[in-house]
Structure 1
C-alpha cells in the first residue's frame, strides 16, 4: 500500500469520471451541432463504422469504471498486491486524457490532429499491455478479469478506431476520391 498506488488509483478514477461525463455530454448535446457518430458519417469511406458501433463505448466505460474501483480497492488494501498501478497508472491515465482530447479534436474537425491523438492513445494502451505482461503469464483471476479484460476491450476498440480515424483523414484529404471501378 504505497502512496503512489493510491495517487494513481484516485487520479485514474477522477480522470475516468471526467472523460465519461465529457463523452456523454458531447454525444448527447453535440458540440457545434455535431456528435462523434454524425461527423463520422460525414467522412464516408470504406471503413466508416455504422452509427450504432459507437455504443461499444458504454461497455468500455463500464469495464473501465469497474477496473477503477478494483484499482482503488487494491491501492487501499494492506494485504493485496497493487504494484501493477505503478506499471500502468500513468499510461492508462494518459490514454483516458487522450480519449477526451480526441473527442474535442474530432468534433472541431481537426482530423489530422485527431489521428495523432488517437495514435497517442493507442501507444499508451500498448505500453500498458506490455508493462503488465498481459496474457504471457498465469495471472490470478482477479487480475485477468479486472485488469486485463478492460484494457483488452479498450485497446481492441482503439486499434479499430485508429484505422477508421486514418481512413477519415485520408478521405477528407481527398485521397482515393476519384472515380474508380470496383472489379
Structure 2
C-alpha cells in the first residue's frame, strides 16, 4: 500500500508521478512535500494496524484474566473489598458487547480506505484507550490498585476524547455508526467503573471508614453524576453512552438493594435516582431540542 518514491538522479520528474502509491501528482511538486506525504501515509497505516491489534488484544487479555492467569478474578477481588457502589455480577456482562463492537471498530477502521479526518484524529486516543483497558485487566488482577486506578482514569480520558471526535456535538454531526457506537458504549461503562475503582482503593487501603461507607459513597455518586451529566451535554445526549451508564446504575441498585452492608439501601436508591436523572438529562440534551432552541433564538 505504501510504496517508496523513486526519482532518477539529476532529472526532474515529468508528467504525473505517484506518491506513496496513493495519489498521482503533477510534476513540480517538491521532493520534501512528497516525502512528507509518504511519512503521513505510513503513519496512518501504522496507526490503523495498531488500533486493530489492540482491539483484538482486549478480549484475549480478558479471557486470560478470567482464567486466573494474572491473579484473582475481578469477582474475587470485588468480594474481598465490598463497596456500596459496586454493581451486580450480571451488569459486567456488558463487556461482551463492548468487546464485540470494539472488534468491529478496530477491523472496519483498518479496512476503511476513505479519507476521514475525524477518524484519523480519534485513532491515537482509541489506541491509548484500548491499550489501557488491557493493561488495567492485568494490573488489577495483580492487585496493584493504585496503578490500576491511574490506568483506568487514563483510559477514560482517552475514550471521552475519542468518543467526542466521532459523536454528534455542537461542532460536528456524528460519524458512521461503527465509529460512534462502540466508543460511546465503552466510554459510558468506564465512566462509572472509575468510581468503583476509587471506592475499592478506599476500602483496600482503609483510607476512610469502611464500617460506615455511605457518606463518602454519596460523594462518589455526586462526582459520577457531574462527570456523566457534563459528558452527556458535550455528546448531545449520545444514547449509547447513556445506555451504558444507566445499565451500570441499575446494576448498582440491584446489588445494593440486596446487600447487608450498612447504608446499602440508601446507596441503592441513590443509584436508581441517578439512573432516572441520567435518562431525563439525556433527553434534554438531545439534538432535536437544541435545534428547536436555536430556531427559537433565530426567530426571536
Taking structure 2 as the reference length, what is the TM-score of the superposition? 0.54
SS in 1 for 2:109: helix
Return closer, same or farther for 1:4/1:23 CA change in 2, 3 Å cut-off. Answer: same
Q: Distance in 2 between matches of 1:97 and 1:56?
A: 19
Q: Deviations over 1:23-56 (max 9, x none)?
A: 11111x1136511222122211101222222211
Q: 1:145 to 1:163 in 2, by over 3 A?
A: same
- Looking at structure 2, the residues matched to 14 and 135 of structure 1 have their Cα atoms a distance apart, in angstroms, of 27
Q: Summarize deviations over 1:77-124 as a string: whole Å, max 9, x none.
A: 2xx233234301111111111111111111111112111111110111
* Pairing 1:57–2:95 present: yes
Could you say which residue in structure 1 is the equivalent of 2:187? 155
- Higher normalized contact order (CA 8 Å, seq sep 6+, divided by chain length): 1
Cα offset, 1:13, TM superposition: 0.9
Q: How many residues align?
A: 174
Contact in 2 for aligned 1:115/1:165 (Cα 8 Å): yes
Tell me, what secondary structure is at the counterpart of 1:103?
helix
For residues 43 and 146 of structure 1, the distance between their equivalents in structure 2, rounded to whole angstroms, comes to: 37
Partners of 1:3 and 1:21 lie apart in 2 by 27
From 138, 145, 151, the counterpart of 1:104:
138
Establish whether residue 6 from structure 1 lines up as the match of residue 45 from structure 2: yes
Is 1:113 matched with 2:147? yes
CA distance in 2: counterparts of 1:17 and 1:8, whole angstroms: 14
Return the alpha-carbon distance in structure 2 between the equivalents of residues 85 and 3 of structure 1. Answer: 16
Alpha-carbon distance in structure 1 between the residues aligned to 2:166 and 2:70: 42
Structure number with greater Rg is 2
CA distance in 2, matches of 1:34, 1:178: 24
The answer to whether the 8 Å contact 1:8/1:85 transfers is no
RMSD: 2.1
Aligned counterpart, 1:138: 173
Instruction: Determine helix, strand or coil for the equivalent of 1:176.
Output: coil
